[in-house]
A and B are shown apart, each in its own frame.
Chain A
Amino acid sequence: MDGGAATPLILFPTCVMEAMAPAIGDAVVRTLRDRGFEPSIPPDATCCGQPAWNAGHPHEAATVARTTLTALADAPPGPICVPAGSCATMMRVYWPELFRRVGDERAEAAAVDLADRIVEFTRLVAAADGDDEDGRAPREGAVAYHHSCHMLRELHIRDEPLALLDDAGYTVAEWADDERCCGFGGLFSVKEPEISVAMADEKIDGLPIGEIEALVGSDLSCLLQLEGRMRRRGIELPVRHIAELLDPSGPADGR
């Protein structure tokens, strides 16, 4: 983007991205810059607490989430971009309830104040996607898009990622199972591994494999589940976070 100073933006990268896919973090940063933002990560932010919350351990979840909440509340004002639908849901939808559950009124109030600032990555980018398309080489090719559950049903984000892919020049292929759960579900995949795998298999079996060059999604945990299962079954289809397809410098592997 040329002209005008970049808008400072808080980025909450998520633990899964930092641990398992820092290169996708680069793609997120470059995409945000391309759309006129200058992201920074608050040094004291850790994790949103979701793993413990979903497992039924609100106290442990709150202990971790409180650290992140404080770090974000102390950061400069403005939107907080989260490149994962489920973490964005945890922070935006569940944090107030989490802190209420453990009786921490101050954190609850802070979480309520913060909720409106939490914006999932594709929603932020789609809203910022202005008239300036220069310098972005149009891409082509067909992909399948996995709608992750919380992003779709709790944040009600469905059209934004599809529009972004379309704008970038990709065709999103028909995939009957695109809105069905991938079977990850955090601890669910550990406690009920067989059901979890069966759920992934049904989704994978429905993929129009020959027609697409990648499976794309906005939640790394779902993508790790689907990629992990496909590799176990010997299916080599590339799996991409949407930021990699929006990245002005193109998808890089870096594995």
Chain B
Amino acid sequence: MADDLRTRAKEALADPGLHEALARATDRFVEIRRAGDDVANLDALKRAARWQRHRVMERLPEVLERFADAVGEAGGVVHWAADAAEANDIVRDLATRHAVRTVVKSKSMLTEEIGLNEALEAAGIDVVETDLGEWIVQLAGDRPSHILGPAIHYTRERVAELFSARAGEELPPDPEVLCAYARASLRERFLEADMGISGCNFGVAETGTVVLVTNEGNGRMVTSVPPVHVVVMGMERIVETWDQLDLMMTLLPRSATGQQLSVYTTQVTGPRRDGEIDGPDELHVVIVDNGRSDVLGTGSHEMLHCIRCSACLNVCPVYRQIGGHAYGSVYSGPMGAVLTPLLDPSPATTELANASSLCSACHEVCPVGIPLQDLLLLRRADNAAGGAPAAFRAWAKVWSRPAGYRASIAAIQAGARHVPETFVPSAWVEGRIVPRPRGRGSLRERLARGEI
């Protein structure tokens, strides 16, 4: 993968089918989300949610302890992972201890973030993604391009090709046929799996419950069929009470897919108890930090409030053009442009702050009121903390003096009339013809002289 945003963006823009797939998929997401505007007091709920997220994050260590205690009481085992390597080690050790050969997974962006599949595969374990989109991406040796719809960059024709190759027979590009094929293939894998790995939409601290929201039912299979269930959860994916969960669950499916409730809301409290027919013998919850606690208490802490609904990706005009891969991270769109460099500050990620025209569509739509464009601006300011480029310093000097400002306005106008290409960066001029100025002379002088 090319290591700069502009190159990756150019590649994405050059891909003829991509824009169509993206526009179609995101338009559809936006359209169905409107159905989620059914609650009359949506704005009030969003404000309440923002406040609730604040309350939890302020006391995160305490809330997490409470959650861990409750998980323990329910018979689960909690593991704390400071970073990706620790998290992967924990899960791999669990797998080794149980002589696991096959793992089934439900969709989890965190496991993508930490590279869990690769770590398990390196230990000789067969990892099977069971979310349809994730499975498509896995079969293609690709990466998810959207946190909710990992394969939204695929057309159904592409999916039919992939499945046909695997099936050894021609499958038509008909969603029903393709789904039936996936269901049958995955069912076999569920039955042979020794371990299920899931993410976590919300942990509820008061009861130690892990809540998963899915639409395909694969989450239920992953959490109940294999003998061992491992939850990999980001440390910020937590609420304190069921009341808070209620609020989040009012907002999450609505913001994500316009559903009042997702098809499956799975609540896992401990492993199988005596007398229960299904559920795992062991439940492990791995709570992962991986850069998150460094964000707590900073000016960007609100990014930890994110509930991964993907609404901001779907409305983002930049995401719409370049898709998720161009961001070079599992997290894309506005939330990715903010979150990725926070979790992994490096020269390759800092430039993601530029992947926005600051149009505010993301802020407007975020169910927990994260001021995404303000956070992007903050990232830009942090990136420039070493000092503004000389051009901006000179600009500030001249334009803070009225006489200097007036002289530059006259100069720009004259330049734009005669040689616009020379004072506008060439890449800009390549795509556009700088319009000639409309009218001439100093507006303010003409007004003062009574000439208008």
Interface of B is mostly: helix
Chain A residue at smallest Cβ distance from B354: A191
Interface of A is mostly: helix
Q: Are A40 and B399 in contact (CB under 8 A)?
A: no
A selection of 25 A-B contacts at a CB cut-off of 8 Å is A18-B409, A19-B412, A22-B438, A22-B440, A25-B439, A25-B443, A26-B443, A41-B443, A45-B402, A54-B377, A58-B381, A61-B396, A64-B399, A67-B401, A101-B381, A153-B361, A184-B357, A185-B356, A191-B6, A193-B431, A195-B9, A196-B431, A200-B432, A225-B432, A232-B432
Size category of the binding interface on chain B: 35 or more
Answer whether residue A44 sits at the interface, using C-beta atoms and an 8 A cutoff.
yes
Contacts of B119 in A (CB 8 A): none
Q: Are A60 and B432 in contact (CB under 8 A)?
A: no
Answer whether residue B2 sits at the interface, using C-beta atoms and an 8 A cutoff.
no
- The distance in angstroms between the C-alpha atoms of A73 and B309, with both chains bound, is 43
Q: Are A56 and B402 in contact (CB under 8 A)?
A: no
Interface 0/1 of A6-31, CB less than 8 Å to B: 00000101010111111111100110
- Tell me, rounded to whole Å, the shortest Cβ–Cβ distance linking B89 to chain A: 38
Answer whether residue A202 sits at the interface, using C-beta atoms and an 8 A cutoff.
yes
- Tell me, rounded to whole Å, the shortest Cβ–Cβ distance linking A8 to chain B: 13
Answer whether residue B413 sits at the interface, using C-beta atoms and an 8 A cutoff.
yes
Q: Are B317 and A183 in contact (CB under 8 A)?
A: yes
Answer whether residue A47 sits at the interface, using C-beta atoms and an 8 A cutoff.
yes
- The distance in angstroms between the C-alpha atoms of A181 and B364, with both chains bound, is 14
**Which of A19, A150, A232 contacts B360 (CB under 8 A)?**
A150
**Which of B23, B357, B384 contacts A149 (CB under 8 A)?**
B357
Contacts of A23 in B (CB 8 A): 438-440
Chain B residue at smallest Cβ distance from A63: B396
- Tell me, rounded to whole Å, the shortest Cβ–Cβ distance linking B334 to chain A: 12
**Which of A56, A184, A229 contacts B381 (CB under 8 A)?**
A56
Contacts of B401 in A (CB 8 A): 46, 67
- The distance in angstroms between the C-alpha atoms of A248 and B355, with both chains bound, is 42
The answer to whether residues A254 and B438 also contact, given A52-B388, A195-B13, A197-B431 and a CB cut-off of 8 A, is yes
Q: Identify which of residues 369-417 in chain B touch chain A, using a CB-to-CB cut-off of 8 Å.
A: 374, 377, 379-384, 388, 392-393, 395-397, 399-402, 405, 409, 412-413, 416
Contacts of B413 in A (CB 8 A): 19-20, 22
Answer whether residue A227 sits at the interface, using C-beta atoms and an 8 A cutoff.
yes
Contacts of A198 in B (CB 8 A): 13, 19, 321-322
Question: Apart from A29-B447, A189-B357, what are 4 other A-B pairs with CB-CB below 8 Å?
Answer: A19-B413, A26-B439, A191-B354, A192-B354
